[in-house]
Amino acid sequence: MNIIENGLTNTLCPYLAKPLTSIHPTNKEHVFPVALGAPESFSVEASLSENDRLNTLVDAPVTNDPLVKFLCMITEIKTRSGVVESTLEGTTQSGEKFTANVNKNTVTLKHRNPVIKDKVTKKTLGVRGFADGAFLEADRLIQGLAAKNRELPPEGMIIEQHTLNQNMSFTSDLLLLRREAIKTAYLLTVKAFGDHAINSKSGRIFRAAIEANTNKALEETGLLLRNLPADHYKFDPPMSRHQHLFMTSLDDDQLFTQVIFFGGISFAFSTPREDISLENTSFGKLVDASRRCFINNTDE
């Protein structure tokens, strides 16, 4: 099997399957979001309007997914605003909801509603907070009341000081993550095989699968999901959480594509290849997400 290094340049829009010369404007569509650690150069040309639409539909929600943000945080991916923070949710033993903003260096706990009020009169009674943060909340409350010419109850302020030892959790939309994997896998085939991938039955299946928002709709597209774990490949050294792997190959009877995010989240797909008039060929990229660069390919 041939191994290609840089792939074929597409002259068609991956989403509209129309000549790029007939579409204005166009721009670079990243095979995988730069915000998740992909190199800037890992892109194909596409319709700007379609790029924006799918960014709103897929990329932006995935980038803000709590699990993905947590993985970006421990992977030390930096954004324009600095190091990524992950927000976790929790509830104290007494039932108050709080959030935890987590980054590499700190964990900041904050009650969603730090002000304590009388349930009947709605008068302000005091504040709640975590450890010494409770006294900071008290200072803010005193300053806020003074600015409004209001006073605390004559019996004084209630200060609830909660321990930092709390249970926290986060949710993740795994169907959305799968949708990102499908979009990435399709764009990877375009990066590798150019217009051959766009004009093929495989391309039509991938495009329909990107738009599918239910399991039933996805099944009806004909996209075959393969159960292939990330550790199927015996890398030496093994993949780390800082790495993404993207690979696609034209085999005798299929176009096989696999993406592995953060060294362990694996998605593999099989699509038809009978109308792709290329020799059996493979294309792959291993990415260091923390540095946004290709591994063993320093010139890109």
Give SS3 for 271: strand
**219-266 pLDDT, tens per residue?**
999 999 988 877 777 777 888 999 999 999 999 999 999 999 999 999
Lowest-pLDDT range, 111-115, 126-130, 176-180, 232-236? 232-236
Which DSSP symbol is given to 12? Answer: B
What gap in Å lies between CA 227 and CA 169, rounded to an integer?
A: 27
The reported pLDDT for the residue numbered 101 is 83
Instruction: Supply angle C-alpha 35, 230, 51, rounded to 5.
Output: 30
What is the token pair recorded at 250?
């034209």
* 3-state class (DSSP) for residue 236: coil
- Closest C-alpha among 136, 206, 192, 223 to residue 6: 192
pTM, two decimals, is: 0.82
Q: Among residues 65, 68, 81, 67, which one has the least CA distance to residue 36?
A: 68
**Which residue, among 245, 235, 202, 279, has the nearest Cα to 42 in the 3D structure?**
245
Alpha helices in 228-270 (DSSP H): none
Domain boundaries, the chain: 2-65+173-294, 83-169
Can you tell me the distance from the alpha carbon of 273 to that of 202, in angstroms, rounded to the nearest whole number? 7
Taking only the tens place, the pLDDT of each residue in 14-46 is 999 999 999 999 999 999 999 999 999 999 999
